Amino acid sequence: MFHEYGNENPKIIVMIHGTAMSWKMFVPAAEALADTYHVILAGVPGHDPDRDDEFTSVEQTASEIEEGLLHQGINTVDLLYGLSMGGGIVLRMLADSRLTIRHAVIDGGIAPYEFPKTVCALILAKDVVLTGLAKHSRRLLSCAFSDRDYGKETVDGMYQVLRHMSAKTIFRVYASTDNYSMPDVFPETDTEIEYWYGSEEEKERKTDIQYFRKHIPHVRFRILHGMKHGQYAAVDTESFVKDLREHI
């Protein structure tokens, strides 16, 4: 599950990718940060073409990452970063309070829906069907993630991951990411929490932003101007790395 860089360094960064993405998308950033930090890229089950496993749930994945870090004697993380679904996993890890997390960046993170069950069921069905279609059509995938915006290599990598994802994993990803459990009252924490989102995805992140405003009063918001969902981490490694350094 873990892919590590700069192991000799004391300060720790943990990064978690999103749906139909791979830990490999963060390799350029990890290599750039490894001169100063111990960078741990967490591979989410069901998303690595080199592994034969299935995604279970946000809660289970958060627990597995926590267990893996604790098993290595790591109980303090200087920066925990999560993109999209990975942001939901970060949020759940913050709620678990099993680790001391000094800084958390949730980039376009998915918060659990607070809609009626029938609405959630309709959204789930739509997401599963569209993702199932994109699994068999790079052209359809590029309607959401174009080569122009994300780069051909990034989109090719996403398509490879998507082709690998089983129907079971695809269903579980959306069923859990949209509906994972959270405490009614977010635990008190000293973690500095930021929620990032691209100016070009503000409409899509509306309910997520509302959730964070409602449940995590001390969260700070940052708009990534001119960026779409996940675009900053995918295409502007130099600025992305500089930003992460400034959060430790």
- Digit-coded pLDDT (tens) for 81-126: 999 999 999 999 999 999 999 999 999 999 999 889 899 899 999 9
**Cβ distance 46 to 165 under 8 Å?**
yes
Entry pTM = 0.96
Rounded to the nearest 10 degrees, how much is the dihedral formed by the CA atoms of 115, 59, 56, 28? 100
Q: Is 78 left (phi over 0), alpha (psi -120 to 50) or beta?
A: alpha
Kindly report the number of other CB atoms within 10 A of residue 131's CB atom: 21
- What is the percent of the chain where pLDDT is above 90? 94
Q: What is the distance between the alpha carbons of residues 90 and 83, in angstroms, rounded to a whole number?
A: 9
Domains of the chain: 2-246 (3.40.50.1820)
